[in-house]
């Protein structure tokens, strides 16, 4: 049975970046390391571009999971930063849940490492509490395709929507006329082929 189209709305959305930590990133094998990090930073850039409330959280930093990827902290120096002492499911951490609810947003855009744990557990918990959950599949990573696909199926069955960072950006933007140069710059920074497209567009525009 099909469900109604729940469209991302920048006035209703918040971004949760869960456990993008240096140690955990080394476990990601379902997507190439360079591409994966690019996707994570693209998601972070679009969150900043659309001025979406963004929450950073880590798990057991003092252990093998390691520290948060430094670029994320640099991008969001004033964002809520929840260093969980041991909770595997971020939703089990009271400070994290308080930070999420303090945004006042109904739509949660979630990405993290690893997909079947750090993404799936808070996604399922948020769905249970009535949030609309959008999982950014290409900014979340795990051991292999088997574990990834199992996590995707579990979250989808509970009502989560799977998206990519590019899809998220386009759905939030709605109309190119809102800001051609700004969105084009974001895309060009993370998609080399798109940079070629925009170079062509800029050249043609300048010639008119």
- Mean pLDDT computed over every residue of the chain: 94
Token pair in block for residue 164: 């990519």
Verify that 77 and 142 share a domain, yes or no: yes
Residue 196, pLDDT > 90, answer no
The CATH code of the domain that includes 120 is 3.40.50.850
- Same domain, residue pair 80 and 118: yes
User: What tens digit of pLDDT does each residue of 105-130 get?
Assistant: 999 999 999 999 999 999 999 999 99
For residues 150 and 55, state if they share a domain. yes
Instruction: Give residue 32's pLDDT.
Output: 96
φ, ψ for residue 191 (rounded to 5)? -130, 100
Residues 6+ apart with CB under 8 A from 156: 162
Asked if residues 80 and 52 have their Cβ atoms less than 8 Å apart, the reply is no
Residue 160 Cα distances to 30, 201, 202, angstroms: 20, 36, 38
pLDDT at 180: 86
- Residue 136 and residue 39 share a domain: yes
* Residue 99 in domain: yes
What percent of the chain lies above the pLDDT cut of 70? 94
Sign of CA pseudo-dihedral 138, 47, 170, 159 = positive
Q: Are 54 and 47 in contact (CB under 8 A)?
A: yes
pLDDT of residue 208: 61
Domain containing 41: what range? 13-174
**Residues paired with residue 80 on neighbouring β-strands, in sequence order:** none
With beta carbons less than 8 A apart as the criterion, state whether 69 and 39 touch: no
Question: Which has more confidence, 24 or 196?
Answer: 24
Q: Is residue 188 domain-shared with residue 87, that is, in the same domain?
A: no
Same domain, 100 and 66: yes
Give the mean pLDDT of 176-198.
87
Residue 4 lies in a domain: no
pLDDT computed for residue 207 by the predictor: 63
Q: Which pTM was predicted?
A: 0.94
- Condensed to tens digits (0 to 9), the pLDDT of residues 125-168 reads 999 999 999 999 999 999 999 999 999 999 999 999 999 999 99
pLDDT at 206 over 90: no
- Residue 98 and residue 156 in one domain: yes
- Together in a domain, 184 and 115: no
In three-state form (DSSP H/G/I as H, E/B as E, the rest C), the secondary structure along the chain is: CCCCCCCCCCCCEEEEEECCEHHHHCCCCCCCHHHHHHHHHHHHHHHHHCCCCEEEEEECCCCCCCCECHHHHHHCCCCCEEEECCCCCHHHCHHHHHHHHHCCCCEEEEEEECHHHHHHHHHHHHHHCCCEEEEEHHHCECCCHHHHHHHHHHHHHHCCEEECHHHHHHHHHCCHHHCHHHHHHHHHHHCHHHHHHHHHHHHHHHHC
Q: Which residues are catalytic?
A: 118
Structure tokens at 91: 């939703």
């Amino acid at each position: 049975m099909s469900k109604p189209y729940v469209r991302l709305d920048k006035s209703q959305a918040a971004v949760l970046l869960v456990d993008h930590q240096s140690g955990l990133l080394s476990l990601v094998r379902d997507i190439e390391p360079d591409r994966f990090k690019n996707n994570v930073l693209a998601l972070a850039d679009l969150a900043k571009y659309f001025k979406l409330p963004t929450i950073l959280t880590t798990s057991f930093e003092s252990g093998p999971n390691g520290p948060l990827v430094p670029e994320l902290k640099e991008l969001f120096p004033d964002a809520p930063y929840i260093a969980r002492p041991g909770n595997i499911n971020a939703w089990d951490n009271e400070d994290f849940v308080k930070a999420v609810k303090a945004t006042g947003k109904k739509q949660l855009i979630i990405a993290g490492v690893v997909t079947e744990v750090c993404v799936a557990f808070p996604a399922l918990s948020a769905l249970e509490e009535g949030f609309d959950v959008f999982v950014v599949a290409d900014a979340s990573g795990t051991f292999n395709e088997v574990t990834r696909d199992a996590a995707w199926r579990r979250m989808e069955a509970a009502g989560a929507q799977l998206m990519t960072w590019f899809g998220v950006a386009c759905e939030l933007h709605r109309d190119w006329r809102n800001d051609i140069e700004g969105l084009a710059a974001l895309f060009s920074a993370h998609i080399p082929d798109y940079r070629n497209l925009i170079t062509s567009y800029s050249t043609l525009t300048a010639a008119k």
